[in-house]
Amino acid sequence: MATGRPLVIAIDGPAASGKGTLAERVGERFGLAHLDTGKLYRATALGVLERGGDPANPNAAEKAARNVDFSRLADTRLLEENVARASSVVAAIPGVRIVLLEAQRRFARHPPPLGSGPAKGAVLDGRDIGTVVCPDADVKLFVTASPESRAWRRAKELRQDDAAAIYEAVLQDMRERDARDSQRRVAPLAAAPDAVTIDTTSLDADQAFELACDLIARHCAGR
């Protein structure tokens, strides 16, 4: 059955599971605006670090969250590991999540136009999109993979020529971040009850993409 509201796709999962790449490709396939919500938290963390603050300080983190500029989400410094670690810390602060929650929901309700014209909807990826940000999303996917697989991918991203040299450190950091994200009191990392889980441990990016597209296309056919 057709509806007047934008199509909303929620894609959640832990770090380096492949959810970001999947969300970006899904957006391109279905004409949806894409928001990597993790970058909002990274931008918040970067704002704190730039001012010499402590990411665990609620006042500093909440101030940085209120000043997040969407135009800064392409800043390459957001990809640095110290920013990634700090983002996991600020994301556990309830006040930060409150500040950024409405911005994410506004993006879903009123997706910005694409270069080719109006967006048909939005695809958001993060840790709590299907459970908190957009609990009424049309399609919810939870993308995951083993910690070892995710650590190896991240190590290769960080050091293409010698990933093995930093693999153990990245794996330890990945496990610590998973624990923080899963155990935080507010909006912990978890699959929504009605989400479809895609385990990418043994899938390549194309296989995961086609599986997600099939699920979304079947939903769209019934709108």
Scanning the structure block, which residue is given the tokens 């990245």?
Answer: 170
Residue 214 within a domain = yes
- Positions of E strands within 19-167: 32-36, 121-126, 139-144
Residue 159 within a domain = yes
Residue 48 within a domain = yes
Residue 26 within a domain = yes
Q: Dihedral angle at the C-alpha atoms of 131, 193, 216, 37, nearest 10 degrees?
A: 20
Residue 179 within a domain = yes
**Of 142, 113, 130, 143, the residue nearest 6 (C-alpha):** 113
Q: Over the stretch 147-176, which tens digit does the pLDDT of each residue have?
A: 999 988 888 877 766 667 788 888 998 898
Range of the domain at 48: 7-221
Residue 2 within a domain = no
The CATH number of the domain holding residue 22 is 3.40.50.300
Q: Sheet of 121-126: strands edge to edge?
A: 32-36, 121-126, 7-12, 139-144, 196-199
Determine whether 202 is exposed, middle or buried from the number of CB atoms within 10 Å of its CB (0-12, 13-18, 19+).
Answer: exposed
Q: Over the stretch 73-126, which tens digit does the pLDDT of each residue have?
A: 999 999 888 998 899 899 889 999 999 999 999 999 999 999 879 999 999 999
Residue 54 within a domain = yes
In this predicted structure, the answer to whether residue 2 has a pLDDT above a threshold of 60 is no
Segment 1-10 shows an average pLDDT of 77
Q: Tell me, what's the pLDDT at 10?
A: 98
Strand-pair partners of 125: 11, 36
Residue 1 within a domain = no
Number of domains into which the chain is organized: 1
Supply the DSSP symbol for 79: G
Q: Model's pTM, two decimal places?
A: 0.86
Q: Over the stretch 24-62, which tens digit does the pLDDT of each residue have?
A: 999 999 999 999 999 999 999 999 999 999 999 999 999
Segment 176-202 shows an average pLDDT of 88
